[in-house]
Amino acid sequence: MAEIEQYWKFTKFEENPKFPFLIVDNWYTPEEEKAIWSELNLYSHLKDIDRAEDTIVARDKEGNAKGKSYRWYTSEYHTDKHYTRFPIENTLYKVRSDEFKNELNFCDPYFRSFGSSNRNSNMVSYYEEEDYYDDHYDTFQWTQLVWFYKTPKMFTGGDFVFKEPNVTVNCKHNRAIFFPCPYLHSVTPIKMKQKMPFGHGRWTITHFYYSIPDGK
């Protein structure tokens, strides 16, 4: 199979060696981007869409949800036999490439847990008016987020914040970010510029990477 040309632009955050992370702009190729939109549009037209606060979500000590958004667990919409036909799953070849791993390996020793991961779990979130996600951490090994939105951009906010290194990463279309799951992170509240049809807010594609023993 011919190698697919990538348009990646890598930015390594190394200022705080305790909390390194990687930003990748132009994560999807133009052809992949179109395919991803087709899958996101499919989810946006489903009935009975779950809210994150009604599913498995980070909660405070009182049991209150730390985040508000719409949410889809992609594994619920395909069979195990056909999951690789869905663009979000099908494009995971990118994280397995030597080029990508060579860019991420500056995150040692954390990179070791990414290199040894052998499973992933995928989720799609959608944020619009007054949706947000307060400080929380994830319970896998590594987290990948990819942000999408329609142009022109019809909202403000939705930026990504790492609490401990006190770093804000601007929400940018087709931008991916990779970081170890224990980092505390949040999403600033969304404010729509005007009332728009569903789907004109901030989309997030999430991949969680983890390991299970071989043969399980």
pLDDT attached to residue 198: 94
For domain 35-210, the CATH superfamily is Jelly Rolls (2.60.120.10)
Q: What is the dihedral of CA 158, 159, 162, 165, to 10 degrees?
A: -160
Which has the closest alpha carbon to 157: 145, 135, 149? 149
Confidence check: pLDDT of 83 > 90: no
Q: What percent of the chain has pLDDT over 90?
A: 87
* Residue 159 pLDDT grade (very low, low, confident, very high; cuts 50, 70, 90): very high
pLDDT digit string, tens, across residues 34-57: 999 999 999 999 878 899 999 989
Q: What percent of the chain has pLDDT over 70?
A: 95
Using CA of residue 120, residue 124, residue 168, residue 9, what is the dihedral sign? positive
Q: State mean pLDDT over 59-66.
A: 95
φ, ψ (nearest 5 deg) of residue 40: -60, -40
Confidence check: pLDDT of 1 > 60: no
* Residue 19 pLDDT grade (very low, low, confident, very high; cuts 50, 70, 90): very high
| Domain parsing of the chain, residue ranges | 35-210
